[in-house]
Amino acid sequence: MTNTLLILPGDGIGPEVMAEVHRIIDWYGTKRDLKFEVTEDLVGGAAYDAHGKPLSDATMAKAQEVDAVLLGAVGGPKYDTLDFSLKPERGLLRLRKEMDLFANLRPAQCFDALADFSSLKRDVVSGLDIMIVRELTSGIYFGEPRGIIEEGGQRVGLNTQRYTEAEIDRVARSAFELARKRGNKVCSMEKANVMESGILWREVVQKVHDESYPDVELSHMYADAGGMQLCRWPKQFDVILTDNLFGDLLSDVAAMLTGSLGMLPSASLGAPMENGRPKAMYEPVHGSAPDIAGQGKANPIACILSFAMALRYSFDEGAEATRLEKAVEKVLGDGVRTADLMGAEGGTPVSTAQMGDAILAALDASL
C-alpha cells in the first residue's frame, strides 16, 4: 500500500522544524525501505499571503485524499489585525472540522534526561507517560449560536457549549480502546457539577464503559480538580478523556510537566477511510514562535515525534515509531540540547538542523 503524506509547514518556525521531518522521512525511505509519497502545500498565514485565505479549497481537497496530514504551526503577529474568519488559526480549525478529526491524542511523556526541566520535583514527573484524549470537533469552539451581539446597549460575547450523545460516544470509545493498549485506566473529566453538557458527558461515558469496556478502569473527575491533580501527582493518570475546551487547557498543563512545549507531539484522528486507515493529522503542540523564526533555535523534536505518531497510528509501523522515539531519547540522554532545553546542568547546545543531525545519527546507530 502506498503511504501518502500531505505536509503543511505553516508559519514561523513551522518550515524549520518540518525540514528536519523531511530528513527523517528520507532516512526511512533509504534505510528502512519505507516509502512515502509526499506533497507539500500552504496553511495559515502563508496560505493567506498566497491566496487571501488561511486554507485554500484545493489544499483542503488534498487533505481529504491522503493517508495523513503533517502540520507545522500557524500564526504570527502580522496577522493579528485580520478579520476573525481570515486568521491563520481558522485554516487549522477547518482541517479538523472538515476531516472530522474528533479524537485529539496528546501524550505527555517526560524523558528522564529532562526531568529537571519541569517546574515540579523530579520524583513527581520522572517516568511520566500519560495520554490526553480531547474531543476536537464539537463543544464550545463550534457550538451555535456564537458571536458578538448587541444587547441592552452593550456588546455581549456569546459561545455555546454543545454536545450530542453520538459525539461523546465516539471519542469515549477512542479513549477506552487506547487505554486497553496502555495502562487500562481512563479518567473522564468534565464539570457535571455546574454544566448540563457535563452531566450528559458523564452519563454517556459511563454507559459506553459499562456496555463495551467493563475491563477498563474508569473514574470521573471535575476538570478543575483534574488540573490540580495533574500538578500534584500526574502519574496517577493513564488516559484522560475530556471535551474540547477542557482538553485544550489540561493538555497545556500536562505539557509543562514535561519541561518544554518543544517536546510534545499530537495526533488528531477521525473515522476509518476506505483503506481502513483513520483520517489523521499530526502536529506539534507548540505554536509558531515568531520571535525565534529563521534563527535556527527551534526545537524540532515535537514535530519529529508527531511523525512517529503517524508511523504508529496511520501507517501501522509501531516498531519503527518506537525506533524513532528511542533515537530521540538517546540524543537527549547524550546531553544534546536546543536552546529551549539548555538548563543549569548544561549540555551540548545545537541548532535546529544539528538536532536533526544527532537524531539521524542515532537512527543509524539503531540498525
- Alpha-carbon Rg for the chain in angstroms: 20
| Residue of 28, 48, 67, 191 marked active site | 191
Dihedral sign (CA 184, 189, 192, 195)? negative
Residue 207 has pLDDT above 80, yes or no: yes
Share of the chain above pLDDT 70, in %: 98
Number of alpha carbons in the 13 Å side-chain half-sphere of residue 200: 14
Provide DSSP, 75-140.
--GGGTTS-GGGSHHHHHHHHHHHTT--EEEEEEE--GGGGGGSSS-HHHHTT-EEEEEEE-SSGG
What residues have CB less than 8 Å from 140, skipping those under 6 apart? 159, 160, 161, 162, 244, 245
Q: What is the mean pLDDT of the chain?
A: 94
**Domain segments of the chain as ranges:** 1-121+260-367, 129-257
CA distances from 247 to 137, 192, 205, 299 (A): 12, 15, 16, 24
Identify whether 210 is a catalytic site residue. Answer: no
| Per-residue pLDDT at 308 | 97
Ramachandran bin of 326, using left for φ above 0, alpha for ψ from -120 to 50, beta for the remaining angles = alpha
Catalytic residue among 163, 248, 282, 313: 248
Where do we find the cell 483503506?
275
In this prediction, residue 257 carries a pLDDT of 85
252 is catalytic: yes
Torsion angles phi and psi, residue 231, rounded to 5: -85, -25
The reported pLDDT for the residue numbered 344 is 54
- Examine the residue annotation and report whether 48 is marked as an active-site residue of this protein: no
**Could you read off the pLDDT of 285-307 as tens digits, one per residue?**
889 999 999 999 999 999 999 99
Q: pLDDT tens across 317-362, in order?
A: 999 999 999 999 999 999 999 988 877 567 889 999 999 999 999 9
Percent of the chain past pLDDT 90, that is, above it, reads 83
Give the other-Cβ count within 10 Å of 326's Cβ: 14
> Helix count (H) and strand count (E) of the chain?
12, 14
Q: What is the reported pLDDT for 285?
A: 87
Same fold, 1-121+260-367 and 129-257: yes
Residue ranges for the known binding site for Mg(2+) are 224, 248, 252
Tell me which CATH code domain 1-121+260-367 carries.
Answer: 3.40.718.10
Catalytic choice (141, 207, 316, 357)? 141
To the query of whether residue 364 is one of the catalytic residues in this protein, the response is no
- pLDDT, tens only, 46-80: 999 999 999 999 999 999 999 999 999 999 999 99
Nine cell digits for residue 242:
475530556
pLDDT average, residue stretch 104-118: 88
Predicted pLDDT at 288? 95
pLDDT of res. 345: 67
- pLDDT by residue (tens digit) across 332-342? 999 999 988 87
Give just the sign of the alpha carbon dihedral 69, 75, 78, 84: positive
In the block, cell 472530522 appears at 100
Which top CATH class is 129-257?
Answer: alpha beta
Q: Which of 116, 252, 334, 357 is catalytic?
A: 252
- Measured between alpha carbons, how far is 293 from 54 in angstroms, rounded to an integer? 19
Decide if 127 contacts 113 (C-beta within 8 A): no
Q: Which residues are annotated as a binding site for NAD(+)?
A: 76-89, 287-299
Provide the annotated binding site for substrate.
96, 106, 134, 224
Pairing of strands 129-135, 239-242: parallel
The annotated binding site is made up of 76-89, 96, 106, 134, 224, 248, 252, 287-299
Residue 1 in this model has a pLDDT that exceeds 80: no
Active site residue 326: no
For the cut 60, the answer to whether the pLDDT of residue 92 exceeds it is yes
Spot the catalytic one: 112, 129, 224, 316: 224
Indicate if the pLDDT at residue 252 is higher than 70: yes
**Average pLDDT of the residues in 87-114:** 92
